[in-house]
Amino acid sequence: MYDLVVVGSGLFGLTVAESAARLWDARVAIVEKRSHIGGNAYSEVDPETGIEVHKYGAHIFHTSNEEVWNYVRRFTDFNDYVHRVLTTIDGVVYPMPVNLGTINQFFGSAYSPDQARALVREQSSEIPAGRAEDNFETMGISTVGRPLFEAFFRDYTAKQWQTNPTDLPAGIARRLPVRYTYDSRYFSDPHQGLPLDGYAAWFERMVDSPNIDVFLNSDFFDEESSEKATLTRDSTAGRVPVVYTGPVDRFFDYEYGRLGWRTIDFEVERPHTGDYQGCAVMNYGDLTVPETRTIEFRHFNPEREYPGDRTIVYREFSRSATADDDPYYPINTPSDQKMMHDYRRAMADTPGVLFGGRLGTYRYFDMDATIAGALDMVRDDLASLLGSNL
């Protein structure tokens, strides 16, 4: 009775479902394990403070992709928030990513762009040619020089990965951001902001179609419940087109092993003040501070009336995910890459099921890249599958 089953209601699943329902009048079922749609970009209003919080970590929309920008504005407008990040190192606050302001504050200097470039070039020359690729630390020093690397990148990254920097791969440091201007915007995309009436309202508009049915609290692998059993892997795969955006290893019953992920633990606090830290995101670069960053959500929406005596902050702590945790960032060790090689073969041998999104492909994507990937799937795969079938 459905033309398409979409597993997962994150931005990938929502974009596919919305497009299929609108373009081809397809009847679409969305199967979602959680109690809400929107995947990890979901947000809700904190009942105690009235402040919108991003339940699975801070999400700032930003893009240079005009097709994606035009697509998302069908469902929401954005405020004019411009993302800036600060970092506290050894009791001093600096702008991030490292820019001319950071460099001059750190060295107590007034270098011009050319002078700062020359300094970094000289400091990064301590790593002999050919040694940069050894590990994260050698690549980091050869990219930005030892003083900036040790202050701004080494310990923060070690906390994120819970791994000694000399044991991390060089690839992580290959593109450490350093700007030789005073531009402290975190993203340089032409479009950025937060959805004016929140992420949840944006996502609800995407499924507001008589062609789309959403089944919440429904696990695609749960064969127990007879009511939901019609929308499980065993009853749909091979019979009706399926777009699967859950974890790829789960789909194949972990046949080649479990892929490694990092997760984040959040500690929630509601301080009695109208402004706890003066910005949305404060990183903590020192190993002596266990959290990686603190998010104060009210700053994402300066246009809103929020209480003057109450705020809410999430402190983030990074660690490896266990089987029971929410998977956030792929770790991608050589053994993960080998597993993905096998899973990719298995995906190609599973007709009628298309794999997408960050969990379905084991890759980190920002929201705009997720939507772009879904629009590609709609054009490249679903158009022939659904466009001609209906």
**Least distance between ligand FDA and beta carbon 261 (Å):** 10
Q: Six-digit token pair at 330? A: 């792929």
| Site size toward ligand FDA, by CB under 6 A | 34
Assign residue 217 a region: left if phi > 0, alpha if psi is -120 to 50, beta otherwise?
left
**324 flagged as catalytic:** no
Instruction: Report d(CA 124, CA 138) in Å as an integer.
Output: 9
Q: By CB under 6 A, is residue 299 in contact with ligand FDA?
A: no
- The values of phi and psi at residue 372, to 5°, are -60, -40
**Binding flag, residue 152, ligand FDA (CB under 6 A):** no
94 is catalytic: no
149 or 203: CB nearest ligand FDA: 203
Catalytic residue among 44, 325, 366, 381: 366
Residue 314 to residue 296: CA distance in whole angstroms: 7
175 is catalytic: yes
**Stretch of 53-61, 107-115, 151-159, 295-303 lying at the interface with ligand FDA (CB under 6 A):** 53-61
Q: Does 307 bind ligand FDA (CB under 6 A)?
A: no
Q: Which of 46, 52, 137, 219 binds ligand FDA (CB under 6 A)?
A: 219
Q: Which is nearer to ligand FDA, 277 or 370 (CB)?
A: 370
Which stretch of DSSP H or E encloses residue 235?
helix 233-236
Whether 179 sits among the annotated catalytic residues: the reply is yes
Output helix, strand, coil percentages for the chain, rounded to the nearest 5. 35, 20, 45
Query: Which among 90, 175, 227, 253 is annotated as catalytic?
Result: 175
Q: Which stretch binds ligand FDA (CB under 6 A): 55-63, 100-108, 272-280, 283-291?
A: 55-63
Angle at CA of residue 13, ends 12 and 14, nearest 5°:
95
Burial class for 108, CB neighbours closer than 10 Å (0-12, 13-18, 19+): exposed
**Is there binding between residue 160 and ligand FDA (CB under 6 A)?**
no
Query: Cβ closer to ligand FDA: 256 or 266?
Result: 266
CB neighbourhood size of 48 (10 A): 11
Interface with ligand FDA in residues 221-280 (CB under 6 A): 221, 245-246, 264
φ, ψ at 247 (rounded to 5°): -65, 130
Yes or no: say if 306 and 49 are a contact pair by the CB < 8 Å rule: yes
Q: Does 39 bind ligand FDA (CB under 6 A)?
A: yes
Q: Which residues, in sequence order, are bridge partners of residue 87? A: 94, 283
334-363 footprint of ligand FDA as x/- string (CB under 6 A): -----------------------xxx----
**Selected binder of ligand FDA within 3, 21, 24, 40 (CB under 6 A):** 40
Q: Is 366 a catalytic residue?
A: yes
Report yes or no: 189 and 63 within 8 Å, Cβ to Cβ.
yes
Helix axes 100-107, 113-124, angle to 10 degrees: 70
What tokens were used for 79?
A: 């405020």
- Choosing from 20, 21, 28, 60, the residue that interacts with ligand FDA (CB under 6 A) is 60
Q: Indicate whether 195 belongs to the interface with ligand FDA (CB under 6 A).
A: no
328 binds ligand FDA (CB under 6 A): yes
Pair 12, 257: CB distance under 8 Å: no
Q: How far is the CB of 126 from ligand FDA (least distance, A)?
A: 34
Is 150 or 325 the residue whose CB approaches ligand FDA more closely? 325
Locate 68 and state its tokens: 């994606």
Interface positions with ligand FDA (CB under 6 A) = 7-13, 31-34, 39-41, 57-61, 219-221, 245-246, 264, 328, 357-359, 365-368, 370
